[in-house]
């Protein structure tokens, strides 16, 4: 029984990063569905971002103030600049000759191809049992909100920029966690800064005072869910996972959200699922498996390297550290020196003229 309990505990410890990241993708997918309903109802997306960060700050700040009041390091201006520069220079190391790195590269390419296939190719409609019984009320959505070709182009450009910003956020968060060792406080600061920035943008872009009005409806649910689940909780969890496995491990799960959103959208919003979406989902899962396999092999190699003791160090006559990387060679040299010292030196033969006189 003890061995079985130990195996289960060990399996759960190894599976925690995977469970956490898959759960976060479900949380992000729920935010996409709920906010879509709220935005279709007429809520301003600028105001939604403000309320989202405000809810996130209110949810995480009390825990940071209480639990990390003695652990919180000082955030100096020079430290912030150093972290920002390190975040821009951060990258994933790739040894292309190793199989695990090849798996990460190929898996990333396959995952991106699957995501593009889901987005760009539709194909035949796949009729599902539950989608035939769901009818959505689209009469409240004005015809002027129908997307045009110009909107598609603008949206694609903004999504590409958002993807680069999101990737930079992951790298910056990974570097910041090494310097600022208070994850709750860091999450609270990120959400608070997001609140201030979004307020400034909203005051410039949204001129209607009525847009700030919010009641006990879907708008409040969307803001609270996005703030608590998709901001405060998500930033904190992904920071902990990133500290153990790195930013590539965390971002590898992001395309999985597209599959979850497609399934949830067919249930809740009666959105159609196309053949291209199914084929893209298969590619995403295959690419994700390849990336995670490569990251797992890399993680095991780091564990083995960490288990190897550091080389023995000594001090030279000049009080400098000396690494004894090969103890056998050093032992042989020391033995040779000892033998050389213990063997007496032979005297040269005396010459005839130096012979003692009788």
Dihedral of alpha carbons 50, 51, 56, 61, sign: positive
pLDDT attached to residue 346: 44
Looking at every residue in the chain, the average pLDDT score rounds to 74
Contact (Cβ atoms closer than 8 angstroms) between residue 184 and residue 60: yes
Range with top average pLDDT, 80-94, 132-146, 299-313: 299-313
Contact (Cβ atoms closer than 8 angstroms) between residue 231 and residue 56: yes
pLDDT attached to residue 131: 58
Domain boundaries, the chain: 2-95+148-272
Q: 315 in helix, strand or coil?
A: strand
Contact (Cβ atoms closer than 8 angstroms) between residue 203 and residue 12: no
pLDDT attached to residue 203: 92
Instruction: Please choose, from the candidates 340, 285, 234, 269, the residue with its C-alpha nearest in 3D space to the C-alpha of residue 111.
Output: 285
Contact (Cβ atoms closer than 8 angstroms) between residue 255 and residue 284: yes
Evaluate if pTM is beyond 0.75: no
Tokens of 122: 């539709």
pLDDT attached to residue 221: 92
Instruction: Please choose, from the candidates 26, 67, 45, 55, the residue with its C-alpha nearest in 3D space to the C-alpha of residue 231.
Output: 55
Looking at residue 130, the DSSP 8-state letter turns out to be: G
Contact (Cβ atoms closer than 8 angstroms) between residue 22 and residue 253: yes
Residue 313 has pLDDT above 90, yes or no: no
Rounded mean pLDDT, 291-320 = 66
C-alpha Rg value of the chain to the nearest Å: 31
* Terminal Cα distance for the chain, rounded: 97
Tokens of 264: 């949830």
List the single range of 36-40, 133-137, 254-258 with lowest mean pLDDT: 133-137
Phi, psi for residue 329 in degrees, rounded to 5 = -65, -40
pLDDT attached to residue 9: 76
DSSP sequence for 254-285: TTHHHHHHHHHHHHHS---EEHHHHHHHHHHH
Confidence of residue 334 (pLDDT cuts 50, 70, 90): very low
pLDDT tens track for 175-195: 777 777 888 888 888 888 889
């Amino acid at each position: 029984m003890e061995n079985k309990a130990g195996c289960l505990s060990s399996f759960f410890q190894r599976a925690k990063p995977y469970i956490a990241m898959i759960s976060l993708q479900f949380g992000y997918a729920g935010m996409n569905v709920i906010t879509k309903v709220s935005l279709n109802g007429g809520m301003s997306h600028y105001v939604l971002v403000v309320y989202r960060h405000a809810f996130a700050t209110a949810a995480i700040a009390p825990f940071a103030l209480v639990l990390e009041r003695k652990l919180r390091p000082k955030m100096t201006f020079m430290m912030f600049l150093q972290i920002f520069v390190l975040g821009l220079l951060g990258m994933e190391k790739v040894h292309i000759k190793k199989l695990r790195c090849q798996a990460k590269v190929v898996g990333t390419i396959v995952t991106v191809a699957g995501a593009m296939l889901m987005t760009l190719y539709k194909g035949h409609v796949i009729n599902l049992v539950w989608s035939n019984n769901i009818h959505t009320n689209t009469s409240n959505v004005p015809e002027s909100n129908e997307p045009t070709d110009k909107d598609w182009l603008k949206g694609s450009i903004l999504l590409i920029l958002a993807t680069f910003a999101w990737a930079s956020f992951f790298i910056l968060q990974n570097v910041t966690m090494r310097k600022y060792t208070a994850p709750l406080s860091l999450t609270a600061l990120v959400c608070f800064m997001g609140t201030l920035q979004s307020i400034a943008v909203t005051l410039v872009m949204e001129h209607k005072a009525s847009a700030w009005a919010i009641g006990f409806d879907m708008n409040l649910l969307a803001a609270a869910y996005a703030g608590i689940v998709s901001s405060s909780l998500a930033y904190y969890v992904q920071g902990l996972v990133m500290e153990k496995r790195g930013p590539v491990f965390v971002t590898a799960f992001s395309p999985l959200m597209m599959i979850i959103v497609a399934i949830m959208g067919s249930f809740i919003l009666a959105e159609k699922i196309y053949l291209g979406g199914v084929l893209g989902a298969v590619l995403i899962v295959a690419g994700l498996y390849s990336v995670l396999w490569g990251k797992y092999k890399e993680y095991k190699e780091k564990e083995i390297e960490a288990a190897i003791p550091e080389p023995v160090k000594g001090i030279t006559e000049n009080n400098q550290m000396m690494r004894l990387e090969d103890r056998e060679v050093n032992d042989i040299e020391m033995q040779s020196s000892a033998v050389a010292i213990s063997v007496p030196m032979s005297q040269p033969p005396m010459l005839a003229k130096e012979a003692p006189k009788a």
